[in-house]
Amino acid sequence: MGSTQPSVWSAIRVTEPAGVNLAGVILDSEVLWFAATNTWIVAPERSGEAVVIDAPPDPGGIGRLLARYDLTPVALLLTHGHIDHMGGAESVRKLGAGVFVHPDDDYLTMDPVAQMRGLFGMVPPGEYLPPTQTIGLRHGMELRLAGVDFEVIHTPGHTPGHCCFLVRSEEWLFSGDQLFAGSIGRTDLPGGSFEQLAESMRDRVMPLADETRVLPGHGPETTIGTERKTNPFRGEWA
């Protein structure tokens, strides 16, 4: 789930143009489900393999995003186990993608219906299936997926198993619900810890270069440098 500030839930597109960058790598996103989750795709070229980052329970929306470039998903990287980020994981797995998630979030990922009852007091209409197979993430793991190198950064705080994914070659950080433009992830849900989130920010996120583009789970993109200078919570990890 999202941030301490409601504004990051608004369905705002990224501030920089998506699509194909100068190096030819495809980076694009779509705002999906009622939680306005950013689902990201990365691919080295059109009509080939792709990596999906986060999958809310909107398989049609994810499918349209992939079809925009005629892509086939080979991997789904889940930043964490909240329903608005993993509710569509099984549908992506059925397309042939391996589903990667940190095992510390298994209590969320493997029981989405119980999670929604706890969060919302009800289960919205729809199909919410846990992924039948997953691959465990760990801090420092290096993954080469669809020809793109991802580094796993375990950032507990929003959830115990929350992870960010760094593409060093492009200076992209997929931050999930760790860091937003002008905010941070909420820590008042079960398993959340403000102290852990601040520690993760200080030790594992803020050491990144100022130029690193932060591609969050909700709201517009930002940069590490911008958040280092202006984020209202910056004093918590100084």
Which pLDDT tens digit goes with each residue over 4-16? Answer: 433 322 222 333 4
Specify the pTM: 0.91
Residue 88 inside a domain? The answer is yes
- Band of the pLDDT at 20, cuts 50, 70, 90? low
Q: Which of 80, 78, 86 is nearest to 190 (CA)?
A: 80
Residue 115 inside a domain? The answer is yes
Residue 31 inside a domain? The answer is yes
Residue 101 inside a domain? The answer is yes
Residue 238 inside a domain? The answer is no
Q: What single letter denotes the amino acid at residue 58?
A: D
Inter-residue contact 39 to 62 (CB < 8 Å): yes
The CATH number of residue 127's host domain is: 3.60.15.10
> Rounded distance, CA 103 to CA 135, Å?
9
Residue 1 inside a domain? The answer is no
Domain that residue 15 falls in:
6-233
Beta-carbon contacts of residue 105 (< 8 Å; ≥ 6 apart): 78, 80, 81, 159, 160, 161, 162, 191
Residue 129 inside a domain? The answer is yes
Inter-residue contact 174 to 53 (CB < 8 Å): yes
How many structural domains compose the chain? 1
Least trusted range by pLDDT, from 33-47, 50-64, 117-131, 190-204: 117-131
Asked if the model's pLDDT at residue 129 lies above 70, the reply is yes
